[in-house]
A = this chain, B = another copy of it.
C-alpha cells in the first residue's frame, strides 16, 4: 500500500510542484533503504559505506583497487576514504599493500574474512531487496531505474 510522502512527513500544505515532491521522495526513499540495510549490517559492525567498499572490492578481484578508484565507485561521496579503509583494515576486512611499480599507489583487497562476511550477508541483503520491491512488478522496477537515470543524467 503506497503511502503519500505528505502523510509520512505530516506536511499540512501541498507541495510547491511535482518536482519538489519527487525531489523529496527520492531522498526519503533512499534514506529509508539505507536505514534498512544498516539495520542488517549492524550485527556485523559494518556501516553502509563499509559494506559498499566490500562489494566494490569483490567486484575487482583478484586485482584489487587503489584508494581513489574505490572512492570513485562509491555510491555516495566519501571524502575521507583513507580513514574508512583504515578502520576496515583494523577490522581485518581488507588488506593494503604498496606493490605497484608506481610507488604512490596502494592496492586494496578483500581479506579472507572480508569475503566471508560478504558471502554471509549476500542472502540477507538479497532478501531485503526483494522485500522492499515486492510491491512493484519487474516492469515497474525497470521503469524506476530508467527514471532515476534520467534524473542523474539531467
Contact = CB atoms under 8 A, between A and B. Distances in A.
Interface of A: 1-5, 8-13, 16-35, 56, 59-60, 69, 72-77, 126, 129-136, 138, 140-154
Nearest to A135: B154
Contacts of A5: 145, 149, 152
B152 A8 contact: yes
Nearest to A48: B27
By Cβ-Cβ distance, the 7 closest A-B pairs, closest first, are A30-B30, A135-B154, A2-B149, A31-B76, A2-B153, A25-B148, A19-B129
Contacts of A24: 75
B140 A154 contact: no
> Per DSSP, are chain A's interface residues mostly helix, strand or loop, or mixed?
helix
How many identical subunits does the complex contain? 2
A18 to B, nearest CB: 5
B136 A75 contact: no
A151 to B, nearest CB: 5
A136 B152 contact: no
Given A16-B126, A143-B143, A27 B76 contact: yes
